[in-house]
Amino acid sequence: MDKDCICENCEFREVVFSFLDDESVQHLCDNKEQQSFRKGEIIHNEGERITYFKYLKSGLIKLYRKTPSGDEQIVSITKPFEFVSNISIFSEERYKYSVAAVEDSVVCVVKLDFIKEIALKNGAFAMGLLSKVSKVNEKIISQTLDIRQKNLIGRVAYILLYFTNEIYNTQVFDLPVSRKEIADYIGMSTANVIRTLSDFKKEGIIRVFGKTIEIVDMRRLEIMAKIG
Amino acid sequence: MDKDCICENCEFREVVFSFLDDESVQHLCDNKEQQSFRKGEIIHNEGERITYFKYLKSGLIKLYRKTPSGDEQIVSITKPFEFVSNISIFSEERYKYSVAAVEDSVVCVVKLDFIKEIALKNGAFAMGLLSKVSKVNEKIISQTLDIRQKNLIGRVAYILLYFTNEIYNTQVFDLPVSRKEIADYIGMSTANVIRTLSDFKKEGIIRVFGKTIEIVDMRRLEIMAKIG
DNA sequence: CGCGGCTTTGATGTTCATCAAGTAAAGTGG
DNA sequence: CCACTTTACTTGATGAACATCAAAGCCGCG
């Protein structure tokens, strides 16, 4: 299915699979599969049975769920080397959250039982997983708390800084998500997200060309994120 | 230090330590220590170095952190068999969150290195930890999302139901926390939490005697939690 | 028995959601 | 490739939800 994916060199190996010997890695490699998703495609839906261990090789994904009233709550937007089938994978039968690609993405997929099998035999590997899972969860929780303590302006500023500093590492980037998705991420209304972006624009803090954002005055944006 | 704690019979054994043979359990038992905390006492502070694996034997604790402006954000209030030194323990050097007793509590303490050592040798044990950590984190995240999607009334109703159904399993209970702490938990102002409780009282949904709460009309409270 | 912290309630103002109406952009089918 | 349709974005006006402030009552503790 994929000659181009050579597990020995996979960057992910360092992250979780560093405790595996070459033989295990080879075995893993033989059992894995790569899947590509276009921007907007759903990788899996909440409620579906979990059978695969998935991680993001490239691209960008959002983790979210639907509220009873039908709108989305976005839990996290993350880039490669996070798990995709994350959070509930080692404790639940079924996904608690949906995952969708917000940019073209490649996901590497291994049967979950296979991972569990290795973990049972290899404590160091299991501890690697544990550490990684903890880290991912902690990030989600602390970001949620960070956002919760801020007002509208602070939240929008925070998200812009998140994209700049954590995702893209550039001052100019294309927003991978719609205004509505930002709203669903930070728990505000779409209209107010747009309004705040407009305000930042008027004050010369950012420049906006459709989806493209340029952070002009990083300093002031950081202040807005802090005091807001 | 504690003859009264016989690990072989510890209820916690079922939760995480079920994969250990008697010998390991004995070893664990020899290396553990029990600590008691009075209501209000701090078990550990964010920023402190993590050296112990701690779990709650009895009582009730809150997990929280301080915002830059000085007030508390309560992440979780949980009862026995949750980890206390939770979330960051397997991924960080230092606590990201503080833990304090909201009722008189007993915490069981083992050197973290000791736990790690066992986990490295015993994959099943490590996987048990992983499963437990995942579950705890997932609960925190989903509760946070549940709360986020509700308004003031829904949030207060939700918390009351949480105490009734998840913590105490009775219709009548003593609130273990102040009104302010509820506010810090659900992300609303103290005054409005109190106001909402008063409204519930006036409408005959609950009865209030100081810290003692009685849920009178469970059905309506559930409706308030759902629609709010 | 008096002081300080927690609780309660009312009045006021701010923040934010909602609604509406219009514009731009992006898909869709001929 | 263009007309058409739909979806995303934008802005203003309005009202609701909630925070804040203030003053008073209550309770526990020294």
**Taking residues B190-197, what's their average pLDDT?**
97
| Average pLDDT in chain B | 90
Q: Which of A18, A134, A143 to probe the B interface (max B CBs under 10 A)?
A: A134
CB-strand contact A197/C, under 7 Å: no
Task: Say if CB A142 and CB A134 are below 8 A apart.
Answer: no
Q: If pLDDT is split at 50, 70 and 90, which confidence band does B13 have? A: low
Q: Classify domain A150-227 at the CATH topology level.
A: Arc Repressor Mutant, subunit A (1.10.10)
Q: If pLDDT is split at 50, 70 and 90, which confidence band does B15 have? A: low
Rounded to the nearest 5 degrees, what angle is found at the Cα of B197, between the Cα atoms of B195 and B202? 90
Q: Is the pLDDT of residue B212 over 90?
A: yes
Q: Is the pLDDT of residue A28 over 90?
A: no
The per-residue pLDDT for B51 is 93
A-chain CB neighbours of B148 within 8 Å are 73, 148, 187
A143 phi/psi in degrees, rounded to 5 = -65, -40
Q: If pLDDT is split at 50, 70 and 90, which confidence band does A68 have? A: confident
Which DSSP letter does residue A50 get?
A: P
Joined tokens for residue A78: 């993350």
Q: Is the pLDDT of residue A146 over 80?
A: yes
Q: CA–C1' distance A197–C17 (Å)?
A: 17
The per-residue pLDDT for B201 is 96
Which DSSP letter does residue B18 get?
A: G
**Taking residues A43-54, what's their average pLDDT?**
93
Instruction: Say which residues have a Cβ less than 8 Å from residue A2's Cβ, sequence separation at least 6.
Output: A33, A34
Q: Which percentage of chain B shows pLDDT scores above 70?
A: 92
Q: Is the pLDDT of residue B26 over 80?
A: no
Instruction: Say which residues have a Cβ less than 8 Å from residue A65's Cβ, sequence separation at least 6.
Output: A46, A72, A73, A75, A96, A97, A98, B145
Which DSSP letter does residue A49 get?
A: B
| Average pLDDT in chain A | 90
Higher-pLDDT residue of B31 and B213 is: B213
| Residue labelled with tokens 């595996």 | A20
The per-residue pLDDT for B1 is 43
Task: Give the whole-angstrom CA distance, residue B71 versus residue B48.
Answer: 19
The per-residue pLDDT for A172 is 96
**Taking residues B33-57, what's their average pLDDT?**
92
A-chain CB neighbours of B64 within 8 Å are none
The per-residue pLDDT for A31 is 81
CB-strand contact A18/D, under 7 Å: no
Task: Say if CB B184 and CB B196 are below 8 A apart.
Answer: no
Task: Give the whole-angstrom CA distance, residue A54 versus residue A35.
Answer: 10
The per-residue pLDDT for B5 is 56
Q: Is the pLDDT of residue A176 over 80?
A: yes
Q: Classify domain A7-146 at the CATH topology level.
A: Jelly Rolls (2.60.120)
Closest Cβ–Cβ partner in B75, B130, B148 for A130? B130
Alpha helices in chain B (DSSP H): 12-15, 22-31, 112-121, 123-148, 152-161, 179-186, 190-202, 218-227
Indicate yes or no: CB of A120 within 8 angstroms of CB of B123.
yes
Task: Say if CB A95 and CB A46 are below 8 A apart.
Answer: yes
Give pLDDT tens digits for A114-134.
Answer: 899 999 999 999 999 999 899
The per-residue pLDDT for A221 is 97
Q: If pLDDT is split at 50, 70 and 90, which confidence band does A209 have? A: very high
**Taking residues A76-98, what's their average pLDDT?**
87
The per-residue pLDDT for A116 is 92
**Taking residues B138-148, what's their average pLDDT?**
96
The per-residue pLDDT for B3 is 44
Residue spans in chain B of domains classed CATH 2.60.120.10? 7-146
Which DSSP letter does residue A164 get?
A: I
Task: Give the whole-angstrom CA distance, residue A187 versus residue A198.
Answer: 18
Beta strands at A212-215 and B172-174: parallel, antiparallel or unpaired: unpaired
Task: Give the whole-angstrom CA distance, residue B162 versus residue A161.
Answer: 35
Q: Which percentage of chain B shows pLDDT scores above 90?
A: 71
Residue spans in chain B of domains classed CATH 1.10.10.10? 150-227
The per-residue pLDDT for A3 is 44
Q: What is the DSSP string of A78-125?
A: E-TTSBSS-SSTTT-SB-SSEEEEEEEEEEEEEEHHHHHHHHHH-HHH
| Residue labelled with tokens 């997983």 | A129
CB-strand contact A94/D, under 7 Å: no
Give pLDDT tens digits for B94-119.
Answer: 999 999 999 999 998 999 998 999 99
Q: If pLDDT is split at 50, 70 and 90, which confidence band does A186 have? A: very high
CB-strand contact B190/C, under 7 Å: yes
**Taking residues A154-160, what's their average pLDDT?**
98
Long-range contacts of A44-48 (CB under 8 A, 24+ apart): A44/A84, A44/A85, A44/A95, A44/A98, A44/A99, A45/A95, A45/A98, A46/A94, A46/A95, A46/A96, A46/A97, A46/A98, A47/A94, A47/A95, A48/A94, A48/A95
SS3 of chain A: helix, strand, coil, percent, to 5: 45, 25, 30
Which residues of A sit within 8 Å Cβ distance of B?
65, 67-68, 73, 75, 87-92, 96, 116, 119-127, 129-135, 137-138, 140-142, 144-145, 148-149, 187, 226
Question: Radius of gyration of chain B from Cα atoms?
Answer: 19
Indicate yes or no: CB of B137 within 8 angstroms of CB of A141.
yes
Task: Give the whole-angstrom CA distance, residue B160 versus residue B182.
Answer: 10
